[in-house]
Structure 1
Amino acid sequence: MVTVRPYQPFDLPGMYQVCLRTGDSGQDATALYRNPDLLAHTYAGPYPVADPGLSFVAVDEQGVLGYIIATADTLEFETWQEEHWWPGLREQYPVSLGQDPQDGTQDWLRIAHIHRSRPTPDDLYEKYPAHLHIDILPRGQRSGLGRRLVTTLTDALRARGVRGLHLGVGSGNPGAFAFYQAIGFHEERRADWGSTMVMDLQDR
């Protein structure tokens, strides 16, 4: 039995685990990081702090097995990160650590990202200002849970009057691309890293 419910602060450790265990294009990224928290510091942690009302978790008898997190306004969120999230992490992880140690680990990439990130306006945000991240452990996949989480989030965004939603899908994760197409997203942009997909929240 899987319950989908709003995020609570005690869910955060479980969310960090899910982020790490799905962080390599949907596969377990544990072996890629010396510091198991760095990936989630970048892609999970700030969302429920900035706007807990747009964070939802899926829980079963073993704990958190998935989540969906979002911001209603990407540029506003990036500005919040610059003011409130990145400064502490930049102090904790000096820029000197953002160099490739040539050992196959990826901590340095996340640290470089922490120091490089800045609020970046984009014309895309005019129609699709919200963005999301969703991660589900293997035991919760192919069960309809992904669609359930997305529906929960889009209902919350529509209730706020948000116009549209976007997300990024890495080129190494074709299964995710197909899933998002199946639930109503379409590809807006394509780049070397992957695709930007969008959903109009006013069309239904």
Structure 2
Amino acid sequence: MFNDYFTEQEPEHIWVATDKEDKPIGYVICNTDYIRYKQLMNQIYYPRLKQLSPEDIEFFESFLLALDKVVYNHPVHFHIDILPGHQRQGIGHKLLDALGKQLISEEFETMMLYASSRNSVGYHFYLKYGFKEIHDYQNDAVALAYYL
């Protein structure tokens, strides 16, 4: 449900990693216009979410409020996910490299994400990749940006 926006509105900003059998093992998705993203999320995707998964409404609302604090300087935000059995093999790095090259060709200067915890494996991956903290949410969550 949270990915519907990306597959329907910005499929050109989706990268999928596959294994040797061509099965998906990870992806990175991003939007490049937060104002449009938020507008369509509220008009189209929020009602879907409310209908299909009302327990996720509070998370969704807090997520958008969190992004509001940083996106005007960093309008490109992304999500990345690699299956646990395929992590720490360079797949995330390759996905971010591909996304970064595309964003540079589209003349963007940064890409940003919301990390829910500094104690996560993902957080340490982002720092190693070169991301910098741009906002501290005071609940162990942070926004991180990578300067292309």
Cα root mean square deviation, aligned: 2.4
1:177 paired residue number: 123
Asked if 2 retains the 8 angstrom alpha-carbon contact of 1:188 and 1:197, the reply is yes
1:200 aligns with 2:117: no
1:136 to 73, 79, 82: 82
1:24 paired residue number: none
Distance in 2 (CA, whole Å) between partners of 1:77 and 1:111 is 17
The runs of 5 or more residues in structure 1 that have no matched partner are 1-40, 99-107
Going from structure 1 to structure 2, the CA distance change for 1:122 and 1:144 (only over 3 Å counts) comes to same
Distance in 2 (CA, whole Å) between partners of 1:136 and 1:88 is 25
Q: Secondary structure at the match of 1:81?
A: helix
Q: Secondary structure at the match of 1:49?
A: helix
Q: In terms of Rg, which structure is larger? A: 1
**1:46 Cα offset (Å):** 2.0
Q: Secondary structure at the match of 1:77?
A: helix
**1:111 Cα offset (Å):** 3.5
Q: TM-score, normalised by structure 2?
A: 0.84
**Count of aligned pairs:** 145
Asked if 1 retains the 8 angstrom alpha-carbon contact of 2:118 and 2:142, the reply is no
**1:145 Cα offset (Å):** 0.6
1:90 paired residue number: 50
Between the aligned residues of both structures, percent identity stands at 26
Distance in 1 (CA, whole Å) between partners of 2:79 and 2:63 is 19
Following TM superposition, the consecutive aligned residue runs of length 4 or more in structure 1 with deviations greater than 6 angstroms are: none
Q: TM-score, normalised by structure 1?
A: 0.63
1:161 aligns with 2:120: no
1:48 aligns with 2:11: no
1:5 paired residue number: none
1:188 aligns with 2:134: yes
